[in-house]
Structure formats: structure tokens, C-alpha cells
């Protein structure tokens, strides 16, 4: 474990570019691996989570190689995944696990899934339930967790599944199982979640329809599908950009442009909430890349005011709450969040991890069952301190790094290692922006 102290050396300025979107990178590799022929991906996130997906797909027969700055994937075709000869090591990645379980579910292969201590605590029952209904046999560890064994079913049975948790991972697992399932597999989403799977599967030629009525989305996939290879450009990850946006809002005199940020409406809730708090975040050069809306974000230091965050925005910023809590800790007045039970089953229990960490560095935080209530300093720096415990959670580590930039004495985190799961050059980019 590498402890690291983050402290401010001045404003964040200039132009930076954050790495590719994690969700889109996973899906580009998976769909490329299922297409017949060669797909090319530019801007792939080369973080540990995505590399875990690549390794598992190679284990199941796909060829995935770096080619200069791009990655090329030679797919095996839907139905063509091979029996892996060793356990699929998912590392820290819930997305790799749940989406790949969906793929295995409708192939006639057996696979063991393992992961690190954080992933081995996370609930898999949410995907085991629908995938078992489709015919897969899944034996998890007690409590429905990894390590688990699963045997896919070919042909699998198409189902209609109504999501009981707002989870793009569960939605995607069922849709991916549906790719190799004869007939129509249907997922009903009472609350919209990130829709990269739907957008990208259509791009690869899948027969997929989306119907919206009364606030619900019904997604149908007609299987078995053939996927055609695609060239994909992955936009910058809004979840990674959020750390720099909050840092620039909090550190006096900052004036930063974050280029090429994906702004899919199912992902961009954090920027709306920061603007509601008074943050100056402008979208420049709005454009579309690879079927996803993209813009450059111009962020300037701003005085923030506490707000009550509408729980309905939660799915569109589910990974950004840890860094929002840091913004709240420096705002004027109180920020109240609720409806965030899902944060307790992420890479760590993010409500209790952030409450403990922020309290340790001098913020005023009250932890409730499904959210935090934070009373901010009104713009004054936090005292700082640490070491805070990051619980193998990259987003806790980076959020506390941002808190360090807005503190008097700096913030020490117990380990900066988890940052590599989603944002390997985070510290290098902080240096480039002049922040530390």
C-alpha cells in the first residue's frame, strides 16, 4: 500500500483530457469480442478494471491487442465464446463481473469468477436471479457473493425482467444474455439508468428496441443476434472529469478546461447538481462522438451553496456522490442527500466511508440510513489530516485527494493504489493542472 498526501500548490489551470469512459470501454471490448471480424477502439481506458475484462475475454477466445494508441479486437461471434481454462479474475470490477456473467449465461460453458476483497463482498444475487431464470446454474459463495461458479445454458430461455434496483449492470447482464437467446428478452426499467449498452449494441447491429411510456423504459432484444464489427471512439469519462471539476470549483483562482467529456444525460447529473450549487461549468463545442454527446467543460472557481439533492437524479450520478460530498463540505450551508442505499454496495460502503473520512479531515457530516447531511465551511479550507481509509475504493481515494487540495494541511490517504482501477494518470494530471 502506498500512502499519499494531497495538498494544494495553487489553482488548477490550463487544459487537460481525462482517460476514456470506463463503462463504454468495458462494453466496446465485450461487443467487439462477440462480433464476427475486427473492431478497432480508440480512447480505450487502460485501467485495471477494463484490463480485467480484456483478460477474461481473451480467456474465452477473443483476440485483443494494442495497436499503437488503439486496441483491436477479433471477435468469436455471438455463441462462439470458448470454455475458459482458468478462473476469470475480475479484480475490483463489478461491471466486468456482472456483464460477463450475462454473456456466459447463454453460452454452453462453465466459468469460475473470482475477485479482490472489495468485490468479494458485493451482492451478485441481483444478476443471479434473472440469469437463473434464463437457465444458467450459478453457485455463489454464502451471501450470494464471489467466488462463484456458473454454467451457462444454450439455448437459454428469453424472459421479461423488471429491475428491482436501478442498475445498468443488471439491465446489461440480462440484455447480453439475450444476445444468444432465441426469441425476445425484455428488460423493464422503472428508473432510467446509463444506456451505453443499448446505444452501442445498436451500433454493432443488434436488433434492439427501446420504448418509453409513463417514465418507464422497456428494452427488447431479439436473439440470437449477429454482431458486425465496429470502429469505436471512447469519449472521456464524466466520472473521472468530476474529480477535476470539483477540484477547480473549490481551489481559489482555478480556471480549467476539461476536454472531450462524455455528457450522456444518463451520466451527467453531477454537473447539473454542481451548477445548482452555484458552480461555473460551461459546455464548449458540444458534439457527438461514437453515438454519445461530448463537450469540453470550462470550470472556474465558484462560491458553492448547499442544496437538497433530488433523489431522482441519483442514477445519473451514482458514482459521483463521494466527490459531491467533498463539494458540499466546502459549500455555504447544508447539503442533504437521500435515496442512496445503492452507495452502500459499491466498491465500499461509500456513505460510511465518506462520512468517516470527511469527519476525520474536519468536515461536519451526519450519516443517515440512505444519505449524508453535510454542513459546509462556506468556502474556507478544511483543516485536513489523515490517513483516511479508502477501503480498496478508487473513488474514495480520489475524492479525498480533492479534499486535500482544498485543505490547510493536506489530506493523507492510506493507499493511492486503488486509483489505477479507473484513472491511472490521475496524479500526473493533477500535476499537469498545477494542483499539487
Interface residues toward ligand S3P, by CB under 6 A: 23, 95, 167-169, 172, 193-194, 318-319, 342
Distances (CA, A) of 396 to 27, 260, 318, 403: 24, 24, 13, 10
Distance CA 210, CA 373 (A): 37
- To the nearest 10°, the Cα dihedral for 309, 310, 316, 319? 40
Question: Min. distance of Cβ 21 from ligand S3P in angstroms?
Answer: 9
Q: Which residues fall in the annotated binding site?
A: 22-23, 27, 94, 122, 167, 169, 319, 346, 350, 395
Peptide linkage before 269 cis (omega within 30 of 0) = no
C-beta closer to ligand S3P: residue 95 or 181: 95
- Phi, psi of 417, deg, nearest 5: -55, -45
End-to-end CA distance of the chain: 21
Q: Which residues are catalytic?
A: 319
C-beta closer to ligand S3P: residue 52 or 361: 52
Helix (H, G, I), strand (E, B) or coil at 336: strand
Centre a 10 Å sphere on the Cβ of residue 205 and count the other Cβ atoms it contains: 15
Name the residue number minimizing CB distance to ligand S3P: 23
Question: Min. distance of Cβ 126 from ligand S3P in angstroms?
Answer: 8
The distance from CA 104 to its chain's CA centroid, rounded to whole angstroms, is 21
Q: Please give the DSSP secondary-structure letter assigned to residue 314.
A: G
C-beta closer to ligand S3P: residue 175 or 326: 175
Please spell the DSSP secondary structure of 186-214, one letter per residue: EEEESS----HHHHHHHHTT--EEEEEET
Nearest Cα residue to 138 out of 121, 130, 52: 130
C-beta closer to ligand S3P: residue 49 or 89: 49
User: Is 255:13 a contact under the CB 8 Å cutoff?
Assistant: yes
Question: Min. distance of Cβ 70 from ligand S3P in angstroms?
Answer: 21
Question: Min. distance of Cβ 93 from ligand S3P in angstroms?
Answer: 9
C-beta closer to ligand S3P: residue 98 or 301: 98
Retrieve residue 20's grid coordinates: 476514456
Amino acid at each position: 500500500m502506498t500512502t499519499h498526501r494531497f495538498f494544494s500548490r495553487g489553482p488548477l489551470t490550463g487544459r487537460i483530457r481525462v482517460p476514456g469512459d470506463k463503462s463504454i470501454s468495458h462494453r466496446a471490448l465485450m461487443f467487439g469480442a462477440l462480433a464476427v471480424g475486427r473492431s478497432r477502439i480508440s480512447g480505450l481506458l487502460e485501467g485495471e478494471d477494463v484490463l480485467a475484462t480484456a483478460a477474461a475475454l481473451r480467456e474465452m477466445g477473443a483476440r485483443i491487442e494494442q495497436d499503437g494508441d488503439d486496441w483491436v479486437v477479433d471477435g468469436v461471434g455471438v455463441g462462439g465464446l470458448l470454455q475458459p481454462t482458468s478462473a476469470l479474475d475480475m479484480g475490483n470490477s463489478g461491471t466486468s463481473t456482472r456483464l460477463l456473467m450475462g454473456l456466459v449465461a447463454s453460452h454452453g460453458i462453465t466459468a469460475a469468477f473470482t475477485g479482490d476483497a472489495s468485490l468479494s463482498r458485493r451482492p451478485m444475487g441481483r444478476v443471479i436471479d434473472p440469469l437463473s431464470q434464463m437457465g444458467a446454474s450459478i453457485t455463489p459463495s454464502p451471501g450470494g457473493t464471489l467466488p462463484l461458479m456458473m454454467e451457462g445454458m444454450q439455448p437459454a430461455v428469453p424472459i421479461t425482467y423488471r429491475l428491482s434496483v436501478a442498475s445498468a449492470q443488471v439491465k446489461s447482464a440480462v440484455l447480453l444474455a439475450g444476445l444468444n437467446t432465441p426469441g425476445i428478452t425484455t428488460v423493464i426499467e422503472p428508473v432510467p439508468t446509463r444506456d451505453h449498452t443499448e446505444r452501442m449494441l445498436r451500433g454493432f447491429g443488434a436488433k434492439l428496441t427501446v420504448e418509453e411510456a409513463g417514465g418507464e423504459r422497456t428494452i427488447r432484444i431479439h436473439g440470437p443476434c449477429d454482431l458486425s464489427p465496429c470502429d469505436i471512439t471512447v469519449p472521456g469519462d464524466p466520472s473521472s472529469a468530476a474529480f477535476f471539476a470539483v477540484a477547480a470549483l473549490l481551489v481559489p483562482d482555478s480556471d480549467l478546461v476539461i476536454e472531450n467529456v462524455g455528457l450522456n444525460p444518463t451520466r451527467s447529473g453531477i454537473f447539473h447538481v454542481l451548477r445548482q450549487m452555484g458552480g461555473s461549468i460551461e459546455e464548449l463545442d458540444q458534439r457527438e462522438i461514437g453515438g454519445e454527446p461530448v463537450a469540453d467543460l470550462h470550470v472556474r472557481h465558484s462560491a458553492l451553496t448547499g442544496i437538497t439533492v433530488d433523489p431522482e437524479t441519483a442514477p445519473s450520478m451514482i458514482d459521483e456522490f463521494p466527490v459531491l460530498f467533498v463539494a458540499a463540505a466546502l459549500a455555504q450551508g447544508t447539503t442533504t442527500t437521500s435515496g442512496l442505499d445503492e452507495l452502500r454496495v459499491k466498491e465500499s460502503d461509500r456513505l460510511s466511508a465518506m462520512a468517516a473520512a470527511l469527519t476525520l479531515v474536519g468536515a461536519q457530516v451526519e450519516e443517515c440510513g440512505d444519505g449524508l447531511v453535510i454542513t459546509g465551511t462556506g468556502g474556507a479550507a478544511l483543516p485536513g489530516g489523515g490517513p483516511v481509509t479508502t477501503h480498496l475504493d478508487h473513488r474514495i481515494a480520489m475524492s479525498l485527494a480533492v479534499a486535500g487540495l482544498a485543505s490547510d494541511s493536506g489530506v493523507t490517504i492510506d493507499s493511492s493504489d486503488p486509483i489505477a482501477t479507473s484513472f491511472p494518470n490521475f496524479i500526473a494530471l493533477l500535476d499537469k493542472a498545477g494542483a499539487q
